[in-house]
Amino acid sequence: MRRRFVWSGVVLVGLVIIAAVMGAASSSSSAWSDRYRVGETVLFKVEDQKLFCWSCCCCQSTCPETQVLGWHVSDSSGGIIYSVVNDEPVPASIWQGSWSQINFVGASVAAGYYTLYVDTSVGTLTRCLRVYDPCSCCWSLGWCWGCSSCEQTSTITSCCCRTSLVWIVEETPCCQLFWRPCCP
């Protein structure tokens, strides 16, 4: 009888841990994938990194800092819906991009698939993202018919220098004990 209670306790603790991990994963969807809730601000930046190379024929002692020239967002059909051009190049180390999920006229965009393009001095970096409505059954379950695929170039490597477009994840607390996709 005592072994049964111990075993039940172990199973219960395991279930609580699994529920906590799943709750944390669903509270900040951006941390786990390129998914953003409708209305959630999309934050991004460009990172430079020097790689170790075996070949010294192309390696430089330092990598030149990447300059950000501008960025834009296109919808799933390839049409540009929002665009920003910098007056002058901005060093990647001090630049951060932010898209409030609006189009050129300031209207909110609909749930769907979008591509972010960041023009830099080393080339154009792209990342695909999905804007979803957490209260729509289709989007909250993660499947829909007619979903598009997206090709992206999130990293450019030249010899020993790597430039990457990365998401900036903001942790937002949510009102959930278990998975509740519609919490504010």
- Which pLDDT score is estimated for 49? 87
179: DSSP letter: -
To the question of domain 29-168 being in CATH 1.25.60.10, the answer is no
Cα dist. 182→5, 132, 176 in Å? 36, 11, 10
pLDDT in tens, 164-180: 888 887 765 555 445 54
Model confidence over 101-138: pLDDT tens digits? 999 999 999 999 999 999 999 999 999 999 988 776 55
Could you tell me the residue ranges of all domains in the chain? 29-168
Hey, what are 123's tokens?
């080339």
Tell whether the model's pLDDT for residue 67 goes beyond 90.
yes
pLDDT in tens, 30-57: 333 588 989 999 999 999 988 776 655 5
pLDDT at site 122 = 94
Tell me the pLDDT band of 140, cut-offs 50, 70 and 90.
very low
Beta bridge partners of 73: 82, 116
CA–CA gap between residue 19 and residue 37 (Å, rounded): 21
Q: Say if CB 81 and CB 68 are below 8 A apart.
A: no
Write down the pTM of the prediction. 0.66
